[in-house]
Amino acid sequence: MSLSVAFEISMVLTSVCAVLLSGWLLWQGQRQRAMPALAGFAAMMALWCTGHIAIVQGWPVLGVALILANPLMPMFFLHFALQFVATPEAGSGGWRRRLPWLYALTILLIGLSWFGPGGKITTTAGFDAFFVFADIGWLNLLYTILLGVAAHLVLFQGWRLHSGNKRRSIVAMFMAGGWGLLLATSFVFPSLGLNWYPYPMLLLPSYLLLLVYGVVRYQVLEINAFANKALIWLGMLLLVLALMALVSALLGQLGMQALSAVPASQLWLYSTLLLLLSAACYQPLSKLARRLIYPGGQLNESLLAHWRSKLQQCNSWHELAALAAGLLSGQLRQKVSVQLPLAGRANPGLQIHCLRNEHGWYYALKGWDDVTPGYRLQGEVFAALLLSNCRILEQSLKLADAERKRLDQQHLVELGALSAAMAHELRNPLNIISMAAATTPAETRQHIQQQLKRADRLIADLLSYSGRLELQYSDFLLKPLLQAVLSQQDWQGVQCQLQVPDGLMLYGDSYRVQQVLINLTDNALAFCRNQPQAEIKIEAHSEHDHVWIYVHNNGPAIVPAQHAALFQPFVSKRAGGSGLGLAIVRRIMQAHGGEVCHQSDLGWPVSFVLKFTLNVKQNLGLQLPHQQDMTNG
């Protein structure tokens, strides 16, 4: 094949690609304001290549006119660059007003080049006819270069202003521009008197593809799929051309003179047409093969999008299992059951199991061995999609549960503050009632005073549980404190034993510890006062850096059902109590860094065990006196 034919093929490919890309950019880039100008650039490149083809084919007037229209190519590119890098902050009014004048100047210069004359036809290496610049045509070339430089200066300014994908696009344009400059330089060799064949121009199709792809690959996602297919078919085309050249060389060696006499250009043309026909038939043949291999219902993007949107609307496991079973059953026209970890039940027939283990989620299909491959494929795809929604639902439920707990905690804090405020406010009317009762008969006054004391005790318990707990630490003897507590009780025949070493010291808030012991002895008296031979025993000892206090009584045992929630408020409420006594005990013990528990295996029906830490002073940094502010909880 002659060099002239190779050049002509290159120009045809560049022109065809430019026309296709121009149309595609106008169609796909309607929402991208810069794309029409880039489409104009591609269209002008197609006309420029067509001009070279016209000269080779013997139409010099048309060819020279199309080549001299070259300044419109960088003009469109400059227009594109200005729109591409424009930002809302910078505005675009100035250059928008100047663009029409620049287009007018470009067209005027092209007209002058046509009548100049701006070019002529000459003979050069590999060509009987090739374009060279003459007279005003050199001004045409200089103006074209200046427009190209201006466009790249605009891009450079945009590179400084932008980041991300737009900046990557600008870098791609610079790289493609350098490649294009290298290829186009050979076009002016004959005009400079250099009798060189313009080999680089044979690669011009690659320049246009690289430029447009580099610009839009980050802006229009569809072109990435188009470029992927285009590269595959281009590779196949080059492979076919290489094979045809090899076959053409071997046919003569094999004695097939008639076939070897066929021009290589015709073999390549036939091969290219065959490849294009294969590309056109690929999609329908692929669908036909899919229907033959996977008979039954077919998958498509719209169906997958429908499944995905429906499954994402579910807010519970039961809802997800029911909806998933309904969607796939309707698609396959067969009963399908879906089993999830917290919902769904496997029925006989087709089953999808979505399960979770320590490694994550996985699915299993059961009962699908006898279905057609098409149905099996749909089951696999649907199960994978369902598995993804299981992960999403699991995360959303965890977030919802955490938010619910946060709101509950916030509600408890607000309720505690409200309770403390109400308790304080209730004491004022109670004081007024107490003063008003001073003039009533003695029996009535005594009854009122008893109820006021009960109300005051309830308020005190409510404040202790819901208010701020401040600890005033000090060292104190435990036995005198216990004796003071016992002296305040109305024993009414209940026997009490106290076994505490005389020198046993405790470090803590003596008032709060006294409150703990009063609550425990009050509870013990309330439950064992009416028992025959009622007895309460309090003992204490130190062991392994801890002080242990035991409060035993022989009253009725606490039922096992109440053990787990014994120290919760309002759980084990005795007659006349507030239901907060044991909850207050636990809170005070926790504030001291200690523990409280109930036991029934110490030889008594009911035993409460208090555990204090002796080295709490070291833990608090030996700060005396020390205050700890403990909020509710």
Q: Does 569 score more than 80 pLDDT?
A: no
* DSSP H stretches of helix in 505-568: 510-528
Of 154, 171, 201, nearest to 37 (Cα)? 154
3-state secondary structure of 324: helix
The least confident of 83-97, 200-214, 544-558 is 83-97
Q: Does 539 score more than 90 pLDDT?
A: yes
Residue 165: CB atoms within 10 A of its CB come to 11
Residues 548, 541 contacting (CB under 8 angstroms): yes
Q: Does 621 score more than 60 pLDDT?
A: no
Q: Which two tokens stand for residue 364?
A: 């299993």
Assign residue 58 a region (left: φ > 0; alpha: ψ between -120 and 50; beta: otherwise): left
What span, in angstroms and rounded, lies between the C-alpha atoms of 35 and 71? 19
Model confidence pLDDT, tens digit, residues 479-512: 999 998 888 887 888 889 999 999 899 989 888 8
Of 177, 112, 179, nearest to 149 (Cα)? 177
**Res. 526 pLDDT band, cuts 50 70 90:** confident
Q: Does 548 score more than 70 pLDDT?
A: yes
Degrees, nearest 5: CA angle 333-338-340: 165
The chain-wide mean pLDDT, for the chain, equals 79
Q: Does 538 score more than 90 pLDDT?
A: yes
> Which residues, in sequence order, are bridge partners of residue 361?
356
- Environment class of 260 (CB within 10 Å of its CB; exposed 0-12, middle 13-18, buried 19+): middle
Of 575, 577, 573, 596, nearest to 513 (Cα)? 596
Residues 40, 79 contacting (CB under 8 angstroms): yes
| 0.75 surpassed by pTM | no
Of 447, 292, 309, nearest to 385 (Cα)? 309
> Which residues, in sequence order, are bridge partners of residue 127?
124
Q: Report the percentage of the chain scoring pLDDT > 70.
A: 76
Residues 514, 485 contacting (CB under 8 angstroms): yes
- CA 626 to each of CA 78, 582, 591, 614: distance values in angstroms, whole numbers, following the listed order: 77, 25, 13, 16
User: Cis (ω within 30 of 0) for the bond into 625?
Assistant: yes
Torsion angles phi and psi, residue 221, rounded to 5: -65, -25
What pLDDT does residue 624 have? 39
What pLDDT does residue 415 have? 63
Degrees, nearest 5: CA angle 426-428-429: 75
User: Token match 């833990």: residue?
Assistant: 619
Q: Does 182 score more than 70 pLDDT?
A: yes
Q: Does 294 score more than 80 pLDDT?
A: no
Greater pLDDT, 448 or 550: 550
Torsion angles phi and psi, residue 537, rounded to 5: -130, 130
Model confidence pLDDT, tens digit, residues 327-364: 888 888 888 888 887 665 667 788 888 888 888 888 88
Q: Does 554 score more than 80 pLDDT?
A: yes
What span, in angstroms and rounded, lies between the C-alpha atoms of 627 and 474? 10
The DSSP 8-state label assigned to residue 569 in this structure reads T
What are the residues whose beta carbons fall under 8 Å from the beta carbon of 408, sequence distance 6 or more?
none
The least confident of 14-28, 101-115, 485-499, 594-608 is 14-28
Of 493, 555, 492, 548, nearest to 523 (Cα)? 555
What are the residues whose beta carbons fall under 8 Å from the beta carbon of 163, sequence distance 6 or more?
none
- CA 482 to each of CA 477, 479, 519: distance values in angstroms, whole numbers, following the listed order: 9, 5, 12
**Amino acid residing at 535:** E
Give the up-direction half-sphere exposure of residue 487: CA atoms within 13 A in the CB hemisphere: 6
**Res. 633 pLDDT band, cuts 50 70 90:** very low
What is the average per-residue pLDDT within 569-584?
66
Q: Does 221 score more than 60 pLDDT?
A: no
546-553 and 505-508 strand pairing: unpaired
What is the average per-residue pLDDT within 194-212?
78
Residues 327, 320 contacting (CB under 8 angstroms): no
What are the residues whose beta carbons fall under 8 Å from the beta carbon of 14, sequence distance 6 or more?
45, 46, 49, 204, 205, 208
The DSSP 8-state label assigned to residue 295 in this structure reads -
Torsion angles phi and psi, residue 543, rounded to 5: -160, 125
How large is the greatest C-alpha to C-alpha distance in the chain, in angstroms? Answer: 141
Residues 575, 522 contacting (CB under 8 angstroms): no
* Structural domains in the chain, sorted by start: 3-220 (1.20.1070.10), 222-293 (no CATH), 301-405 (no CATH), 468-630 (3.30.565.10)
- CA 515 to each of CA 71, 324, 479, 510, 519: distance values in angstroms, whole numbers, following the listed order: 97, 59, 15, 9, 6
Model confidence pLDDT, tens digit, residues 408-423: 677 666 666 666 666 6
The DSSP 8-state label assigned to residue 352 in this structure reads E
Residue 257: CB atoms within 10 A of its CB come to 9
What is the average per-residue pLDDT within 30-41?
76
